[in-house]
Structure 1
Amino acid sequence: MSIIIRLDMMLAKRKMRSNELAALVGISETNLSLLKSGKVKGIRFSTLNSLCRELDCQPGDLIEFIPDEDESKSSRHGDG
């Protein structure tokens, strides 16, 4: 998948622990851990909103798109 979650980086910048953020956002530490590892298929906008509020950041600070090699080739050739 070409969507990368940068939650660890933002937690480090804010000097915040995962369990603290989970409590502030109102999600389980397990779900936050799954999100950090990229093992989720989606995220609710309400959760993303809460993460951005508590971390004082923008969604783009937490989520990054990096095209796969196949995706890059298809978009350059007009196939995508």
Structure 2
Amino acid sequence: SFYNWDNNTAVCNSSPNYQVIADNPEGLLFKYKRDRKILNVDSKVQPGDNSTRTPIQTELYIQAVIFDHISRRKT
């Protein structure tokens, strides 16, 4: 997902691992396809089960964040 602050446009693409949920009242969400856990990118709430949010300080971007999700695969 990428948000361009200059022209106020967002680009979100699903991947082999994540499904983008863009039409949710809570905002932009990602669902990990293997364990079906939801990743919430809203900075005001927890990112979700087995997930962490790490802000990155950079002079290149206004905001950069890395989300890490640990998959709990059923055996």
Shorter-chain TM-score above 0.5: no
Structure whose CA Rg is larger: 1
Using CA pairs below 8 Å that are at least 6 residues apart, which structure has the higher relative contact order? 1
From the two aligned structures, give the one with the greater helix fraction: 1
Superposition TM-score, scaled by structure 2 size: 0.25
From the two aligned structures, give the one with the greater strand fraction: 2
